[in-house]
Amino acid sequence: MTQYALATLQVNNKKIAAMVLNDASFDLCSAYAKLSDSELPLWAQSITCALSDWENVVNDIAAFAVVLVQASKNGDIQAIEGDITTLVPFKPSAIFGTASNYHEHAAEMNTILAAKPDSSPYVFMKATTSVTGSNSNVILPPETQKLDWEVELGVVIGKRARRVKKEDALNYIAGYTVVNDISARDLNHRTDYPFKHDWFRGKSWDTFCPMGPVFVPKSNIEDPHNIELGLSLNGKQMQDGNTSELIWNAFEQIEYLSSILTLQPGDVIMTGTPAGVGKGIGLFLKDGDVLKAWAKGIGSITNTIKAEQL
């Protein structure tokens, strides 16, 4: 199976869909036009479009990856050069998050969890408008004094999923990406209502969901429950975890979510963050801080904190 990833890039001020092979990026539209006599498909023009119809186009994309590998080896196709900016790989149709899903993270947050047999995943939603790409700024609003980080594996849904059993959940996954679930800890709680938690206000501000740098199809990842992930702040490693430590694994999360609603192609599930967030040690983000979040086999995203200018 040819290893590839999909990305959305801005090249010389033009937004393009790209295929990434061994860290080299290729313009999908121009490559397809040169190497195929068929009409240009939507998946070569937009990664978002590719994911919206993933179950019908994944085999075509994988087959083209084989052709592109050989063409690049023969020198028939050249990798992208010029002024390149990595954008969000695709626009999620919805973003779900699973809270306190690593035991050590729950402990550092002073969260007391029920025994797993007596519980179910605690899921929240994050606005799709909060998504931003790698090498972009995360805007620090003046309303928060406790901005925090959370590296997470993002699981991307590949086809409509309703009442899926965990044993079958892998069939509904398109692939994976890296997510940094930026959270305003002091805005997650309220005292003016009897409802004490406000996850929307704490997590859905613009730029609070860095995602990328690429979308990696599931064929690239041998086991989604054995992926190393971590995060550094200004070059110092703060988080170091592995998805093998998830309380509710990705398959169980899909089973739970799809029992409530129909998951759609392009939906992203932020599966949870390991220990090492700022709240655990009373350290919060400030203007100029640089975050780097990564997952082995997928890539890394870097973002700079920028105080909002009113």
Query: What is the per-residue pLDDT across 52-99, written as a single tens digit (0 to 9) for each?
Result: 999 999 999 999 999 999 999 999 999 998 889 999 999 999 999 999
pLDDT score recorded for residue 111: 87
Report strand pairing: 84-86 vs 131-132. unpaired
Q: What would the two tokens of residue 278 be?
A: 């700022």
**Which of 41, 62, 86 marks a domain boundary?**
86
pTM above 0.95, yes or no: yes
**Which of 29, 52, 86 marks a domain boundary?**
86
Q: Is the same domain home to 101 and 26?
A: no
Compute the distance between CA of residue 161 and CA of residue 269 in angstroms, rounded to an integer: 13
Task: Give the pLDDT confidence of 22-65 residue by residue, as tens digits.
Answer: 999 999 999 999 999 999 999 999 999 999 999 999 999 999 99
Compute the distance between CA of residue 265 and CA of residue 52 in angstroms, rounded to an integer: 5
How far lies 93's CA from each of 48, 122, 203, 250, 268, in Å?
A: 9, 20, 17, 18, 8
Quick check: 113 and 122 in contact, CB under 8 A? no
How far lies 221's CA from each of 195, 209, 246, 261, in Å?
A: 40, 23, 17, 27
Cα radius of gyration (the chain): 20
Q: Is the same domain home to 284 and 201?
A: yes
Compute the distance between CA of residue 5 and CA of residue 47 in angstroms, rounded to an integer: 10
Compute the distance between CA of residue 124 and CA of residue 277 in angstroms, rounded to an integer: 18
Quick check: 151 and 180 in contact, CB under 8 A? yes
Provide the domain count of the chain.
Answer: 2
Q: Is the same domain home to 177 and 77?
A: no
Quick check: 40 and 89 in contact, CB under 8 A? no
Task: Give the pLDDT confidence of 273-309 residue by residue, as tens digits.
Answer: 999 999 999 999 999 999 999 999 999 999 999 999 9
Q: Is the same domain home to 75 and 151?
A: no
pLDDT score recorded for residue 106: 87
> Which residues sit opposite 24 in a β-bridge?
21
CA 286 to chain centre: 23
Q: Is the same domain home to 99 and 74?
A: no
- Residue 34, SS3? helix
Residue 79's domain comprises 5-86
Quick check: 100 and 122 in contact, CB under 8 A? yes
Task: Give the pLDDT confidence of 203-231 residue by residue, as tens digits.
Answer: 999 999 999 999 999 999 999 999 999 99
Average pLDDT, the chain: 96
What is the average pLDDT across 157-167?
98
pLDDT score recorded for residue 295: 98
What is the average pLDDT across 156-184?
98
pLDDT score recorded for residue 92: 98
* pLDDT tier at 270, thresholds 50, 70, 90: very high
Q: Is the same domain home to 175 and 218?
A: yes
pLDDT score recorded for residue 84: 92
What is the average pLDDT across 253-264?
98
* pLDDT tier at 244, thresholds 50, 70, 90: very high
Q: Is the same domain home to 111 and 231?
A: yes
Determine what percent of the chain is predicted with pLDDT higher than 90. Answer: 93
pLDDT score recorded for residue 110: 87
Could you tell me the CATH number of the domain that includes residue 213?
Answer: 3.90.850.10
What is the average pLDDT across 143-165?
98
Burial category of 116 from C-beta neighbours within 10 Å (exposed 0-12, middle 13-18, buried 19 and up): exposed
* pLDDT tier at 183, thresholds 50, 70, 90: very high
Q: Which residues contact 100 (CB under 8 A, 6 or more apart)?
A: 106, 109, 111, 113, 122, 247, 272
For residue 109, is pLDDT > 90?
no
Helix axes 54-74, 28-35, angle to 10 degrees: 70
Determine what percent of the chain is predicted with pLDDT higher than 70. Answer: 100
Compute the distance between CA of residue 65 and CA of residue 310 in angstroms, rounded to an integer: 46
Compute the distance between CA of residue 5 and CA of residue 18 in angstroms, rounded to an integer: 8
pLDDT score recorded for residue 87: 98
Q: What would the two tokens of residue 61 be?
A: 């994309």
Question: Within 10 Å of residue 81's Cβ, how many Cβ atoms?
Answer: 9
Q: Is the same domain home to 11 and 39?
A: yes
pLDDT score recorded for residue 217: 98
Q: Is the same domain home to 69 and 132?
A: no
Q: Is the same domain home to 129 and 73?
A: no
Compute the distance between CA of residue 236 and CA of residue 108 in angstroms, rounded to an integer: 19
Of 150, 190, 153, 151, give the one whose Cα is nearest residue 173.
153
Q: Is the same domain home to 23 and 155?
A: no
Of 29, 17, 24, give the one whose Cα is nearest residue 3.
24
> Which residues sit opposite 216 in a β-bridge?
176
